[in-house]
Chains A and B, each alone.
Chain A
Amino acid sequence: MLEIKDLHVHYGAIHALKGISLTVDDGELVSLIGANGAGKTTTLHTISGLLTASSGEVLLDGENIQKIPANTIIQKGMAHVPEGRHVFARMTVEENLRMGAYIIRDQKRIADNLEKVYGHFPRLKERRRQLAGTLSGGEQQMLATGRALMTDPKILLMDEPSMGLSPILVKEIFSIIQTLHESGITILLVEQNAKMALGVSDRAYVLETGKISMEGSAAELAADDRVRKAYLGA
């Protein structure tokens, strides 16, 4: 489904990604783990077109999506839940969700998807008229995730969904990720919480200062000594 080949990204003189290649197959949940500043967000931003690569390719179902405008990528079936949620704080919960379906013109489909999202996140339904800026961190994460689901994406990019959440909410978010995975959505998950991420993933990549240092099945990586030392605190 998603294939990245030898991706290089620069911020001015800073060489943030130094030749990354990875693939996510149909229906897979793949996680990308790594320390602060490793380049995880940079990778996702480049995939969804918010950043331009210096070289390399991003292929979605075989099509190079780097040349198309960033705002049209969602039409290709890819949705991005950005790091730090980025909900529209001055809009209500429901307005945020409706913005998620901005590219859909069919009101019936929007209404159906809204009900589906409320099914995943009953708490959002209770708070549908509340301003998103007044939600708790966990609720905002649910909103950002629900908003990305409004177009029935084939593939979901999620950037640190567990950031800043209490242990209970982290569990809740991961169980939602698992549910989405089981429902057939392909997911590329970026996480610093390697333990939880490896727990739900099929495969994983480890990113270290702009390079992929390890890759393999989630179980293999979770058992690897280097991963255990560096990311699992063992």
Chain B
Amino acid sequence: MVTFIQFVITGLRLGSVYALIALGYTMVYGIIKLINFAHGDFIMVGGYSLFFLIPVFMGLGLPGWLAVVPACIICACVGMLVELLAYRPVRKKGNKLTSLITAIAMSFVLENLAQAIPAIGPDPKIPYTLFSATLSIGGVAVSSATIITIVVSAVIMVALYFFTQKSRIGRAMRCVSEDKEAAILMGVNVNHTIIITFGIGAGLAAVAALMYIAQYPKVFTTMGATLGIYAFVAAVLGGIGSLPGAMLGGLLIGMVQSLTNTYISSSMSDTFVYLVLIVVLLIRPAGVLGKNVGEKV
């Protein structure tokens, strides 16, 4: 029983982080049909922002986690700049493939730029540990980081869902992702809408970074790569382009990893993640909640 609770809680925690990141992939894909390979690196930007800002905040007598606010803003700005300086010009001139290659290139650019900053460099850094208190749930020791991760992610996901359904910008985002020309005819500024989408997606990556370093206190320039891949798998699994799909996919991947780690072996966890992906895609090629349109990457 204790192991079972442990497995569920760990799965939820991992899954929440993947879901937050997967939302960024899926929102951008939904709106411009681009797999933003640089999205994982936004987590790294968030991670380093937190690494530098948490001590500043604590020095000012403020709670360290508040550093997530400027970290979100920094990430959002980086996301918007990537769209503005790289993706938008390429989208105007090139085709899908050029966009995809630009995204891969941007991922390397961000990682290399980070390494080139002297205060970052190639070696991993250990950020301040947040939320280290532990609680006991049904006889299981749970860190407060875990609880905060699960609760905050859930709140953000619900808020984001209502934002896209009800708010003016959210509705514009849905229109642009469905039909750009019709959206223009309605008076929607497509470029603004796209750039806001990048901002939100990248901002969520900063929150994910906070959750992640609270659990694994280490930041390094390629930290986004692995996390990004799992989140991307989650987005595809749930149905890329679908927000609830990204949430579901994230939780599913987290659960599968936790299940293998707990009951089988942690070295098998990747195998099972991809196994689940393949099985789901064989049954539902567009992902669990995906719209079944033959979209080629």
Contact = CB atoms under 8 A, between A and B. Distances in A.
A89 B186 contact: no
A80 interface: yes
Contact of B181 (A72, A75, A82, A103): A82
B190 A71 contact: yes
Nearest to A101: B186
Contacts of A88: 174-175, 178-179, 182
Contact of A102 (B178, B179, B188, B291): B188
Contact of A103 (B174, B187, B291): B187
Contacts of B189: 69, 71
Interface of B is mostly: helix
B184 A71 contact: yes
A86 B181 contact: yes
Contacts of B171: 91, 95, 98-99, 102
Contact of B172 (A86, A87, A102, A147): A102
Contacts of A70: 184-185
B168 interface: yes
Interface residues of A, number: 26
Contacts of A69: 189
A147 B182 CA distance: 11
B175 A99 contact: yes
Interface in A135-155: 147-148
B187 A71 contact: yes
B182 A86 contact: yes
A74 interface: yes
A113 interface: no
A91 B182 CA distance: 13
Q: Which of A82, A90, A99 has the most CB of B within 10 A?
A: A99
Given A86-B179, A88-B179, A102-B168, A74 B174 contact: no
Q: Which of B174, B182, B184, B185 has the most CB of A within 10 A?
A: B185
28 contacts: A48-B185, A50-B181, A50-B184, A70-B184, A71-B184, A71-B186, A71-B187, A80-B185, A82-B181, A82-B185, A86-B181, A88-B179, A88-B182, A89-B178, A90-B174, A90-B178, A90-B291, A91-B171, A95-B171, A99-B171, A99-B186, A100-B186, A102-B168, A102-B172, A102-B186, A102-B188, A103-B186, A148-B185
What 3 A-B pairs are tightest by C-beta distance, nearest first?
A103-B187, A86-B182, A74-B187
Interface of A: 48-50, 69-72, 74-75, 79-80, 82, 86-91, 95, 98-100, 102-103, 147-148
